[in-house]
A and B are shown apart, each in its own frame.
Chain A
Amino acid sequence: MRGRAGKGLRNVLCAVAAILLFCAAQVPAQVPAQVRTGGELRLAYPHDPMTADVQKNTEYFLLGLNVFDRLVECAPGPPDQAGATAIAPGLAASWEISPDGLVYTFHLRPGVRFHDGSPLTAADVVYTIDRMCDPATKALNTAIFEYVAGARQRLEGQAAATSGVAALDALTVEIRLVRPFAPFLALLASPQAGIYSEKFTKAAGERFGLTPETTCGTGPFKLARYVHNSDQRLVANPDYFRGPPLLDAIGVRVSADPETLRMLFEAGEIDLFDMDFAPTQLDYFEASPKWRGRLVRAARVGLYYLAINNAKKPFNDERVRRALQLSIDRRLILDKMFSGQGALVGGVMAPGLACFGPRAPDLAFDPALARKLLAEAGYPDGAEAELVQVAGWPAAWADLAQVIAAQAAKGGFHVKIRPFDEAAFLSTRMYGDAPLYFQVWSADYNDPDNFFHTFFSASGTKVRSINLADAGALDAVETARSITDPEARCRAYRELERRIVEQDAAWLPLFSLDHVFVLGPRVESFAAPWNGWSDMSHFATGVGRPGPP
């Protein structure tokens, strides 16, 4: 996931459909505009969404989040726990989990209709899951159902259906897993798990999600126009089961150039400026008397991290990794390069993630000690290292790479920036051979597993070129997936975090950046998503007057 939004899971939101999450302390004029004022929200994105089909999209979920619903949704938790979230009912009104954690039974909300008027039934849910696992679909997000019984056989073409999913009656679905898998419910709330209509989707075939005519969900908006690389338009679904959205329509334009995005906003052609698409404009907006009061800061359940390849020299030595941890002045980078908009992160989990707790003490900054450790490890003249620089990543990241290289130099590292093209980097990394690189990861589902399994499972740690060598920790990540008691699970993750960061010095977290939005004059209510992504459900967004013609 890159900072500029758009890659990986970043922009996804666990659609907080009905509940407004106001992070808008700075926007005094904001009242939850529960009164429906209609109008059109005009947005610009730097990329084309590719397809509304969430099963075949790993990056862009704006369409998917507004057109489809999921069985369950991720919603803000109790108001006294800032940033906490809970799993809330979505298309499923209620559900039961068997004591062994293997069988999930969902009771669907009656009376929900798809955009084409057909009612939602259990068969649609069964179809949706089976479609993901059907090799003919060529779905990209098959991983979310990997523990559903029969999913693997279906994926490998050995079965004609996914055996673990069944419709018990018209409104009851049963999903059986092959092993207890605590994050499963949270995964079902992720945008990739949108529910499709069996009849419609089968008829649409390969073109599902590519045109308005071949897209149909239950969500608050219907896709009305989709011109590749140009624009999309979503119109309100008046029959939405939670009631019609505040907006009449959402217009989304594709505009790849960040400066053009800002000018679109200043010229009043779009209503929302997303700083993730043009991070360098923050200074300008903060200094502008016109816009200062319209800034909304949302916490982000995500973090910047410097991935250290534990298997590659010189980082195969724990002292060298610790020296690197000590060399980076994260506070200075955050303050100078990102105007201090965010929080330092000292562990594996990002603020806002379930089980998150500030890890104390935080990583120290001590270049002198770093040089001493390097000398002890046998590098008295400093250690050679390479840092990835991917052409095509945001320019701000190229800057960040140079700052990190300069800081590491003070700690005794000779860091050479190595240019990569994105494809080459991804393939190198996939086989565990990438040198030092930094990246952003933000949560697509609210469970620590989303972070730990990604970086420190036996497979994930290689795929991301971290190559954690601590076999005990790798096992613990796997075991933690099946702990059913939430308290015990959290304790296990906190212990794991300590072990990986302090004991193994295998991981160098940097910081979590706030997601800043600037609201245009017409926007009256706006709620940033729980995870701070750019892609979100606009069910609760409202604009004052109808947009200009």
Chain B
Amino acid sequence: MTRFILTRLLGSLPVLLCVTALLFALLQVAPGDPATLMMKEHADPEVVMRLRAGMHLADPLWKRYPRFVWAALHGDLGQSYKLGRPVAGMILEALPNTVALALCALLVSWLLGAAAGTLAALKPGAFIDRLVMGLSLTAVSTPVFWSALLLQWFFAVKLGLLPVSGFFGFKYLILPSLTLGLASAGTVARLARASLREAMDADYIRTARAKGLTELAVLTRHALKNALPPVLTVMALQAASLLSGAVITETVFAVPGVGRLSVEAIMARDMPLLQGAALTAAVMVILGNLAADVLVAIADPRVRKDWGKLL
């Protein structure tokens, strides 16, 4: 297992290089430059030139990119053009918020999704099954900025139970994680239902039923265990994508997270900040993918014998 993890991690380094190089290239061809955007309404060629000189923007790409990689390897992500703060510090400040939001959202989506999916799988084709599947589709297809607004209006303005936005403690976490969690709960529910139904169709379940086990026992002892690996895979992948920053939710609920940082950075062409945010997101996704594979392997003894194939 250790060898597997190490190989994958080593294999991820080029991935990170790819991601950052792509960003550099994208920003290179993007029109406009950070200096202009810093001056906004006051931009004039003279001041902009002076600012640009301080940013080393005149250097060619092949000079700037290795410089970035070299510094990043030393833990130095540079200084934000726009804000003058060290990027690493800004990311360290924002990351816990994103992680907290993502974890709460995942909790919502996993619990709600798994429960709903199991419920639906118990009686395929029944009313409850159709209801759950219909609701999950609705959840999946509602734009996030919409559900966010409705939740805010109902829970904060109408009922006055929860704060509208901001990020100053646990109760500020509830609405954004509900917004984010509901959308992915639909996916988890559909997945859990499908996976359980497949497991319930299997021979060993028939054997278990034939042995005279109750339906509940069949479900908990056999089906759930076997339905778990695929659900785990997708859950971990979901976690990865959420950890890399839920931009819209963070914007609407004013969560000072990595997603906001990346929007801010791209709007201002703040390359160091954008690189930092993208690098963080990429690391999160890679770790999430790896965790997914390891979890699946741990849950499934058949895989443990042959780690190499997972590469």
Do chains A and B make direct contact within the complex (CB under 8 angstroms)? yes
Q: Residues of B contacting A459 with CB < 8 Å?
A: 44
CB < 8 Å neighbour of A143 from B42, B85, B152, B251: B42
Contact indicator B36/A430 (Cβ below 8 Å): yes
B165 at the interface (CB under 8 A from A): yes
A227 at the interface (CB under 8 A from B): yes
Contact indicator A260/B252 (Cβ below 8 Å): yes
Contact indicator A422/B166 (Cβ below 8 Å): no
Q: Which of A250-258, A324-332, A514-522 contacts B (4 or more CB under 8 A)?
A: A250-258
B306 at the interface (CB under 8 A from A): no
Known: A230-B166, A264-B165. Is A424-B31 also a contact (CB below 8 A)?
A: yes
A198 at the interface (CB under 8 A from B): no
Known: A8-B40, A463-B44. Is A426-B166 also a contact (CB below 8 A)?
A: no
Contact indicator B254/A427 (Cβ below 8 Å): no
Q: Residues of B contacting A210 with CB < 8 Å?
A: 83-85
A51 at the interface (CB under 8 A from B): yes
Interface 0/1 of A393-435, CB less than 8 Å to B: 0000000000000000000000000000111111101110000
Chain B binding surface, main DSSP class: helix
Can you report 13 A-B residue pairs in the complex whose CB atoms are below 8 A from each other? A58-B40, A140-B42, A210-B84, A229-B260, A229-B261, A230-B168, A257-B165, A259-B149, A260-B149, A263-B157, A425-B32, A426-B32, A427-B31
Contact indicator B254/A253 (Cβ below 8 Å): yes
Closest beta carbon of chain B to A467's beta carbon, Å: 14
- Across the interface, name the chain B residue whose C-beta is closest to A7: B40
Contact indicator A257/B36 (Cβ below 8 Å): no
List residues of B whose CB falls within 8 A of some A CB. Answer: 30-33, 36-45, 47-48, 50-51, 54, 82-85, 90, 93-94, 149, 152-153, 156-157, 160, 163-168, 251-254, 256, 260-261, 264, 267, 269
Q: Which 8 A-B pairs have the closest CB atoms?
A: A423-B32, A8-B41, A229-B256, A424-B31, A230-B256, A255-B254, A463-B44, A426-B36
- Across the interface, name the chain B residue whose C-beta is closest to A48: B264
Closest beta carbon of chain A to B271's beta carbon, Å: 12
Q: Residues of A contacting B160 with CB < 8 Å?
A: 267
Interface 0/1 of A179-213, CB less than 8 Å to B: 00000000000000000000000000010001000
Complexed CA–CA distance, A260 and B179 (Å): 14
Complexed CA–CA distance, A272 and B223 (Å): 57
Contact indicator B90/A266 (Cβ below 8 Å): no
Q: Residues of A contacting B251 with CB < 8 Å?
A: 256-257
Q: Residues of A contacting B84 with CB < 8 Å?
A: 51, 56, 206, 210
Q: A260-B149, A260-B253 are in contact. List 16 more A-B contacts (CB 8 A).
A: A58-B41, A59-B40, A142-B47, A143-B42, A228-B83, A228-B93, A229-B94, A229-B260, A257-B252, A260-B252, A263-B156, A263-B164, A263-B165, A421-B31, A423-B30, A426-B40
Closest beta carbon of chain A to B262's beta carbon, Å: 12
Contact indicator A51/B83 (Cβ below 8 Å): yes
- Across the interface, name the chain A residue whose C-beta is closest to B163: A269
